[in-house]
Structure 1
């Protein structure tokens, strides 16, 4: 007997499905109609979208899933997921009563905000789906490296709405999965044929089927449940099947909403004069006919369990499960049901239908047919009851210092490549855990030397044909299961989703990776949604964005980044840096490899007021512009200042009239401008800003602390600028939007003239464009003169 037909299991699953449907609907109703509202805003909750996936969730979580399996739950099915966790003893009633409230159950499943068994956050539609594919690739990577104590392979499962598959990132992910040979990945499509605004186009399932098969996926179509399959075997059943197969989606939805009498009339009108068909239709009451015609496979436990249980291979699988949006609710089938809520009257009717007594709405087993003891014993035996959601992974020691290959003139991008190449020579454990990835710009972002040493990852060995044929080449592109680089196609969404998967390996796979991803800085914006999603999940990685600013000026506006430093400042969970010199970069990279491994203490540092012990991801904005490197030895205090965000390259004197603050590759212009002004204004200061993000975050945190009574809270930037005379002016300059540093004047009330780039698209040499946009040395001096009128700056005037 198939496992799904076990006479003991099916009734239990049926009862649990009923309870999940009730709890999820009640949770949403309570939040919208019963809980006190203090702001007058609609809470919402998607009762219909939750109901369409309830049976599938029940089959998976109570019968199919193993502890090592991971699931990305459709965002709008979050209430059903939390109801399941409640039944498994992993969610509290208090949090569910506060659904979508402060510190209550989140609107959509969240790894970081929900205190339950969430594998992947799915708040941004489509991204959780792609995440499962890349997590399957990362799982293969971890197992190929044969590290000790790696958990067994699991299936990475996405539960997606059919309208969710309109998201382009999903199809980019499918293509990359085909290239990389993805395994152990299931995508279950909740094919309810309704989107937020309408009913989906006819025949969409056939397009999905063809697409997935073309990319090497097995496709399983689950359309009819047991009741319909039995009806099809009766006289007249063939005609009934044909009618359903050709019924337009809008008409089917209308009939679902109208119920049994409407089904009967329509079927009799269309096919009821054919003898056997009429007798078949008349053999059902209205209620039975409505149940029969809505018996789709996505709501039929025996069909689902048989289908899931029969997948006995590791090939990727797309399951297209026909469902009804709002199944089991008064809203079922109505085209407006996506954001619709049951009225109090409808909920009261639903309560009676579910046999739930007033005052017992949150009881786990209220209204169910089976005994509480039998149900609880079944739940207690679940393999998911005690599974580990987040593994504890080893942290790897990082050397106290990274050796900087000496070069008199170089760029931060070249320095990054050289530093990683030096790390590649090492046999230290942390070097074995570094994994790099790039969207078809591996060489042009200076990862080539690292890849030559460490190789590219693939599940099977693939030799470099050029090397095999003895053709000279700078790069050695050999693929193997031990390689440490993922070469991706040119899709930034895939890059950030891959970094998200790599950056969660410590929790998902129990093996810590130190991911480094590279791309061109201007193209961060092409993948911002996925970058935000990765940070929201608390994935840990280092993002190296280069070239930046006007470095690629001859190539035109599309390759000029302006606002990316402010993206780094605004993105939660991402510490951003823009060093000018390679010795600064070496300090930051050493810190970053340690920072992405941290986690625990939530208290801020007493010196910087940054939550450095908590850790996070890191963004490095680098440049291809070669500049003369400084010959110097930095103390421990100097190195800490680089990490905290800024240090004095030229400390201001007691009578300082102007400070020039710069960030990144514009350093030569800032230094030249200070030199031009030095004869006339000897106390001038030059502030090297390595991280506007960390300076601003520390200042903001210290300000909030003082407002709460911690009067001695002082941030790094407040101390740096604290001795400046009140009449001192600050000229800020950056190869980016001027707002990046313009806020410095607010720290102690100094006047500021921010210089930067507000427009893009102009081509030319770097010098031409610096002059055009007003960020060259002459412009810096002119800004200082306007900011601090008085004695003219003679050298500047002579130069002009």
Structure 2
């Protein structure tokens, strides 16, 4: 029998809430609704608007989530549970945190303002207890699936925070709008989750049947159910509230139920907006001839009828609690909660309410309905019919809030002083990466035990095969390598175990970056540090760019290795050649980007990276010009092109230059006329061209750039410092270019967009001729493509000629 991950027993469901509990929860639900709506109103109508821009805040989208989040945060959630909140429900989340004591009035008053509560929940920008950042719809949903896989990994490796190893697993919960299910990355994550036996995951759909532009199409819930059940999720439909269910049991109730089931979404929304009179007129007409149903309607006032018809499952605390507490297993579960957009507010049901805001008159009526006295709008319990002492006592006992802070700090993993690797006479940086990882896998270093690798179906072709052979695949169900069992020759060992350290992914880059985000937050979410290393084809970074940005925005920590890169992957053609990825690396916050040319550079950068991703500085200081105290993630752009490897002993100054972003291969002399500046595998062309230029130009220098990203970031930081009065502030590139005479010209060259390096001319005011790749590549040899894109040796020489002597060039456009 294959081994499977041991799972802690599922806690027994608590008894159904009694009438007192429901009364308190209903009071809290109303306070949350008021505070969320008032926070948005204050931001748009009371706080001074100095620039005239619309502030917004989504009152209607928030209101549809109030009951769901009240039930969860005040009764269902446990401390180990984690939640990704629907982006537009941010005001509800902040209101709940305010009641729990984790949010301040000042930040609520500055909602969507500088220093205030964020428009969408943010781990890095908000001060309250945000588990997962949301904002780009669909990203937070997928994140919960990979967070659950991360939790399984921590548990399988015996790293639970409990000394017994039997700490209960948390539920990874996503609160999503129904329109988020249009996002393809959600279904990519579901497919991947199914492959990895996903557990302990709840996705709760706010099925209000309205999106930004209108009302969703009919029958969406049927498709949702079908998709989830096909991937073995349990589906729980919360369509009817307790009032409706009671009414269905009355004479004529079955006809009313059938009418509700058959009512088009747009009509239901319109009648909700119009209220009890409209409900009565339409039901009376449609149910004519059914005296029992007409009597059922007639026994209720217009207000009571409106309450009955809008008593959907997603707004009924009793129904919600019964459903949530009724889950007694760890299988993934999807709750489809029928709701009304704008529920409980003057905006409810209107198709234009997505970005709508209550005006002054509507807010005045809403304030009266909520019983909030003027001047007490920010008081947590103002207007409640339950005593403040009782509400506070209840909040103090909320299980979710019982253990205080839920942000952890994982222990730092020691990084060896040097990484072992072979440095043959010829190698590519991709091969060098594989060798470094292979040797690390065979070591006894604590670092090796805390690394998990992953790749979107390109594990072997990105040189992770050696690591996997030594460390194995991770799986909650152990499997053997059938090919080896059948004695079929293969270089790869492809068996899964609970202790494996490679997560096999399908070919979906969104899943790769979401997995890196989840594993890269393990130190904070689960208190156990994991260092994820993900490999991907460099051209396809753009396929998962939203997820990469999402991972960095959350301050997840990981090492991204992208290879092969550029038109140097010559025979593959333009579809597999990247030219803009260095610019992505430079522009992406939270990601330090490198492109080493040689394996010894790569080894030093990787060693530094394993330490850098573990830094957790509290201040975003610029005393290093790179905010290195804070740390971040790292992106390595590697290549398959084999280069002659320098057999050299690196000095501390060279290593420091490699980490800061550049070092001199050949320093400039006092009469320097030309500096050739290169990054990456174009090194042989740059070095050869420099030699040819030196035949008739003096003191030709060669600058090896390992990170245009870090050079540029430090340059910007030093310039900001000088603007603030620190006239002595100098970045690394400032220091390097200060050695170059002003009359010298710079030729920059890279197998990528020339803007990656062209900015260096602005550092010291030097004339610069940037060479690079601006257009899609095609198939060919390296020599053919380099010549076609003007990054070959002759092009570098000609560029130097144009800069220094105005000699005629074979390129008239110059």
TM-score range for the pair, normalised by the shorter chain length: over 0.9
- Structure 2 CA distance for partners of 1:216 and 1:603, relative to 1, 3 Å: closer
Structure 2 equivalent of residue 420 of structure 1? 437
Structure 2 equivalent of residue 116 of structure 1? 128
- Aligned positions of 1:120-139 closer than 5 A: 120-139=132-151
Aligned-residue offset at 1:444: 0.4
| Distance of 1:209 and 1:676 partners within structure 2 | 69
Structure 2 equivalent of residue 147 of structure 1? 159
Counterpart among 653, 662, 670 of residue 637 in structure 1: 653
- Aligned positions of 1:483-522 closer than 5 A: 483-522=500-539
Structure 2 equivalent of residue 42 of structure 1? 54
Q: Are the counterparts in 2 of residues 732 and 741 from structure 1 also a CA contact under 8 Å?
A: yes
Structure 1 equivalent of residue 336 of structure 2? 320
1:343 aligned to 2:359? yes
- The 3-state SS of whatever aligns with 1:189 is strand
Counterpart among 211, 215, 222 of residue 199 in structure 1: 215
Structure 2 equivalent of residue 674 of structure 1? 690
RMSD over aligned Cα atoms: 1.4
Name the TM-score, length of structure 1 as normaliser: 0.98
Structure 2 equivalent of residue 481 of structure 1? 498
1:329 aligned to 2:345? yes
Aligned-residue offset at 1:430: 1.1
After superposition, the C-alpha distances for 1:686-745 in whole angstroms (9 at most, x for unaligned) are 000000000000000000001001111100000001021111100000000000000000
Structure 2 equivalent of residue 31 of structure 1? 43
1:105 aligned to 2:108? no
After superposition, the C-alpha distances for 1:497-545 in whole angstroms (9 at most, x for unaligned) are 0000010000111110010000000000000000000000000000000
Aligned-residue offset at 1:460: 1.6
Q: Are the counterparts in 2 of residues 397 and 430 from structure 1 also a CA contact under 8 Å?
A: yes
Structure 2 equivalent of residue 92 of structure 1? 104
- The 3-state SS of whatever aligns with 1:662 is strand
| Distance of 2:423 and 2:297 partners within structure 1 | 86
- The 3-state SS of whatever aligns with 2:175 is strand
| Distance of 1:553 and 1:168 partners within structure 2 | 32
- The 3-state SS of whatever aligns with 1:319 is strand
Q: Are the counterparts in 2 of residues 2 and 306 from structure 1 also a CA contact under 8 Å?
A: no
Counterpart among 66, 71, 76 of residue 83 in structure 2: 71
After superposition, the C-alpha distances for 1:186-227 in whole angstroms (9 at most, x for unaligned) are 000000000110100101000000100000100000100000
Aligned residues: 794
Q: Are the counterparts in 2 of residues 461 and 480 from structure 1 also a CA contact under 8 Å?
A: yes
Structure 1 equivalent of residue 5 of structure 2? none
- The 3-state SS of whatever aligns with 2:746 is strand
Aligned-residue offset at 1:2: 7.8
After superposition, the C-alpha distances for 1:84-131 in whole angstroms (9 at most, x for unaligned) are 000000100000000000010000000000001100000111000000
Structure 1 equivalent of residue 8 of structure 2? none
- The 3-state SS of whatever aligns with 1:200 is coil
Structure 2 equivalent of residue 696 of structure 1? 712
- Structure 2 CA distance for partners of 1:790 and 1:60, relative to 1, 3 Å: closer
Counterpart among 281, 292, 298 of residue 297 in structure 2: 281
Structure 2 equivalent of residue 527 of structure 1? 544
Aligned-residue offset at 1:554: 1.2
Structure 1 equivalent of residue 92 of structure 2? 80
- The 3-state SS of whatever aligns with 2:386 is coil
| Distance of 2:710 and 2:562 partners within structure 1 | 18
- The 3-state SS of whatever aligns with 1:647 is strand
1:227 aligned to 2:243? yes
Name the TM-score, length of structure 2 as normaliser: 0.96
After superposition, the C-alpha distances for 1:400-432 in whole angstroms (9 at most, x for unaligned) are 111230210000000000000010011111110
Structure 2 equivalent of residue 269 of structure 1? 285
1:786 aligned to 2:802? yes
Aligned-residue offset at 1:662: 0.1
1:563 aligned to 2:580? yes
1:575 aligned to 2:587? no
| Distance of 1:364 and 1:650 partners within structure 2 | 68
| Distance of 2:272 and 2:704 partners within structure 1 | 67
Where do 5+ consecutive residues of structure 2 fail to align? 1-12
After superposition, the C-alpha distances for 1:652-680 in whole angstroms (9 at most, x for unaligned) are 11100010000000000001101112222
- The 3-state SS of whatever aligns with 2:237 is strand
Where do 5+ consecutive residues of structure 1 fail to align? none
Structure 1 equivalent of residue 667 of structure 2? 651
After superposition, the C-alpha distances for 1:270-291 in whole angstroms (9 at most, x for unaligned) are 0032111111110100000000
- The 3-state SS of whatever aligns with 1:8 is helix
Q: Which runs of 4+ in 1 moved over 6 A?
A: 790-793
Aligned-residue offset at 1:381: 1.2
Aligned-residue offset at 1:785: 0.3
- The 3-state SS of whatever aligns with 1:384 is helix
Structure 2 equivalent of residue 551 of structure 1? 568
Q: Are the counterparts in 2 of residues 232 and 238 from structure 1 also a CA contact under 8 Å?
A: yes
